[in-house]
Amino acid sequence: MAKQEDEVILLDFWASMFGMRVRIALAEKGIPYEYREEDLKNKSQLLLESNPVHKKIPVLIHNGKPVSESSIIVEYIDEVWKDKAPLFPSDPYAKAHARFWADFIDKKLYQIGRNLYTTKGEEHEAAREEFISCLKLIEGELGDKPYFGGESFGYLDVSLIPFYSWFQAYETYGNMIIEHECPKLIAWAKRCIQNKESVSKTLPDLEKILAFVQHLRKRFGIDE
């Protein structure tokens, strides 16, 4: 149960779409927390102790107890602070359906998106096609609803919207214009930014992410 004097710490990295999910969930619930930026080349003792298995961000530390893996953290937040802005539907089937699509985003969209800016030649062309197919499937799931959650912003919206901050990077290195391929998805993203302060305050500028990806490519020698 949430106590009067909750101590909530988030170990995170500014550009991580997984970290952004947690920041958005915390903001939706109005939970005060301490944000700690990690240097991924020099991870803090607290991070290594809190997530000894994967040593990755984000990690939420609630009254000294760590929770890892962004989807699991968002679910945890939704359960503990259940009185405000519920993210999951209460119906078990709708809940399973939301989890399924969040899992799809994690397994497919993230890795294929990464391939867009780390591969060349045939591999890159394949990644480009897969990425567009992936986005179209996700757009199909949105349909004509204002949000993935229906009338309200929900778990799946939280899971996907951080990827929007990476879209300029995906477009540049994927050689595509996402609005041409998936106009409904772009409209949804803009709707989230316009209507949800938790989103507009959390998402970094798309140009900043693009610059970050440019820097990553240089660091891994991809731009040769």
CA dihedral sign of residues 175, 179, 183, 185: positive
| Interaction of residue 99 with another protein, rule CB under 8 A | yes
| Interaction of residue 104 with another protein, rule CB under 8 A | yes
CB 6 within 8 A of CB 85: no
| Interaction of residue 187 with another protein, rule CB under 8 A | no
Binder to another protein among 75, 139, 157, 171 (CB under 8 A)?
Answer: 75
| Interaction of residue 62 with another protein, rule CB under 8 A | yes
Angle between helices 92-104 and 155-164 (to 10 degrees): 20
CB 49 within 8 A of CB 55: no
Residue 163 to residues 83, 143, 144, 205, 207, Cα–Cα distance (Å): 27, 19, 20, 12, 13
Please name the residue that has the structure tokens 């947690």. Answer: 22
Q: What is the largest CA-CA distance in the chain?
A: 56
We find the least distance from the C-beta atom of residue 174 to another protein, in angstroms, to be 21
| Interaction of residue 96 with another protein, rule CB under 8 A | yes
Size of the site for another protein (CB under 8 A): 22
**Residue ranges of E strands in the chain:** 8-12, 34-37, 59-62, 65-68
Which of 94/187 has CB closer to another protein?
Answer: 94
| Interaction of residue 129 with another protein, rule CB under 8 A | no
| Interaction of residue 68 with another protein, rule CB under 8 A | yes
Binder to another protein among 34, 37, 79, 123 (CB under 8 A)?
Answer: 79
CB 204 within 8 A of CB 14: yes
> Interacting stretch for another protein, rule CB under 8 A, among 21-29, 67-75, 198-206, 208-216?
67-75
Binder to another protein among 4, 83, 92, 122 (CB under 8 A)?
Answer: 92
Binding site for another protein (CB under 8 A): 53, 62, 65, 67-69, 72-73, 75-76, 79-80, 92-93, 95-97, 99-100, 103-104, 137
